[in-house]
Copies of this chain bind each other. A is one copy, B any other.
């Protein structure tokens, strides 16, 4: 299949898709048989069930044509084989390589990048092993018991979401977590100050994470931490022995002697796709050990491989992507909600929000020309059942339709449950989840319009027996690949973020003194600057 980099609105299959009439109300489409049939293996035992999506066999057939015409699998293969898919910045996109190679070896400036990423994993494992065994200790001789990740955006959201998810898994397995982790991200001094106020400097190990080595927020928080370590006034405490770096080999940080050690990533792994690179694996390996991180990476790699399947009814991420485009560009729906029925995934929606909105919130094609159709949707979410008692009112009875992505698991993470009034909490949780899918899909008439539910709110369900490290890796890879496929369909570059630049430039003008822009100056004055 040849690769066709064309805009969505030039594809014949998209024109056909738009001509298809809106399918019947979901209450007519959804049957018990469809629920049993419409399920795809998404890796590691994770399944994608799409029975409650608005589709007919005819729509599926045209979505398959769209996948073929847009050459989505060929583009994915090109990406993993090292083609320059980040066109704006002229970079390869290699986060898949950090967790297992699907395609060819990728050689850059004489270096095999698979070997390079693998080497980082091994270096991290060796370092973490030494920390856990007490071979590497704090500068006053005490064992490290806490790791603090200092990073923002992709250096924070993904690793934090994964850390929260795995913490309770450990408890459920009866395994001691090896180290507690904390995170500092915001340049608001309250963030660093609060985290530091709860730490023992002698037993804390800090990871400074910045690919470029120039991220303003992160360098500021690094300085904050160094001052705190100095100010603690602990005899013998040497800050350099408590701080490690994760950065690119070419960054200013890489050359500094101010770190105990450094682990590397490179320009081919974007921040929001870096959770399975050293950005995520350093803190996670320190917290949970190398075996658990290996499971996480293997889960992601398994899903990556499944995503090469060209048949959409066998490729969960691909089909999920196509449904999203159908909802966005045919049905005209501007937002989508991620609703994990799992406390362990409490910050997973915040990570997906970055992953999706920063990747596909674009107004130009990969060739840099303005687009005339909507691209990435607004993504938001909170854990169920909390969301049920919050914004679900609008989802059920508001005037807009918002497609829903549910996530659920048979078992809880901590395996600490209670039977109350005939059912366990986990059962109650999942009864609510099943109930919501049906309520959203089928609705319910009532003589009183205030008590009637229009239904016809599409949703899909990602589920597994339990949220193991492997399932977590698969879940992460599912969304990464879904978003990548959507970027291909919209013909945008999902791997740059030019939209963050202007604010940085203007902020630095403010900090350098009176900016030229009179209005900027006026706002700076209002804000006490």
Contact = CB atoms under 8 A, between A and B. Distances in A.
7 contacts: A157-B386, A188-B383, A188-B412, A335-B378, A363-B397, A436-B507, A451-B498
B448 A511 contact: no
Contact of A426 (B189, B395, B398, B416): B189
Interface string A419-435: 01111111111111111
Contact of A343 (B188, B433, B453): B188
A142 interface: no
Contacts of A517: 438, 442
A171 B188 contact: no
Interface in A212-254: 216-217, 219-221, 223-224, 227
A357 interface: yes
Given A433-B527, A449-B370, A506-B435, A394 B416 contact: no
Interface stretch (A12-20, A107-115, A192-200, A318-326): A192-200
A465 to B, nearest CB: 7
Given A378-B378, A395-B499, 10 more contacts: A49-B526, A185-B386, A357-B398, A361-B395, A364-B450, A378-B380, A427-B529, A434-B526, A438-B506, A439-B502
Q: Which of A371, A408, A450 has the most CB of B within 10 A?
A: A450
Interface stretch (A28-36, A57-65, A257-265): A28-36
B393 A499 contact: yes
Contacts of A499: 392-398, 453
Interface string A111-136: 00000000000000000000000000
B88 A188 contact: no
Contact of A428 (B425, B426, B511): B511
A100 interface: no
Interface stretch (A148-156, A307-315, A468-476): A148-156
A376 to B, nearest CB: 6
Contacts of A507: 428, 431-432, 434-436
Given A156-B386, A341-B188, A448-B368, A439 B396 contact: no
Contact of A361 (B344, B394, B410, B423): B394
B523 A437 contact: yes
A374 interface: yes
A334 B328 CA distance: 13
B168 A194 contact: yes
A36 to B, nearest CB: 6
Interface residues of A, number: 153
Contacts of A362: 393, 397-399
A368 B503 CA distance: 46
A22 interface: no
Given A189-B425, A390-B350, A397-B363, A418 B383 contact: no
Contact of A224 (B394, B410, B425, B436): B425
Interface string A456-495: 0000010101000000000000000000000000000100
Contact of A527 (B354, B430, B498): B430
Nearest to A271: B389
A399 B450 CA distance: 34
Contacts of A373: 399
A78 interface: no
A1 interface: no
Contacts of A400: 334, 374, 378
Contacts of A6: none
Shortest Cβ-Cβ A-B pairs, 8 listed:
A361-B394, A153-B389, A410-B528, A435-B506, A361-B398, A397-B499, A354-B390, A396-B499
A251 B461 CA distance: 36
A523 B35 contact: yes
A517 B354 CA distance: 38
A190 interface: yes
A47 B438 CA distance: 45
Given A394-B376, A511-B422, A385 B527 contact: no
Contacts of A389: 152-154, 156, 217, 271, 354, 500
Contacts of A216: 428
Contact of A219 (B187, B380, B420, B463): B420
A2 interface: no
A509 B428 CA distance: 11
A369 B447 CA distance: 11
Contact of A434 (B153, B379, B465, B524): B524
Nearest to A328: B399
A404 to B, nearest CB: 12
Interface string A285-320: 000000000000000000000000000000000000
B434 A527 contact: yes
Nearest to A517: B438
A392 B193 contact: no
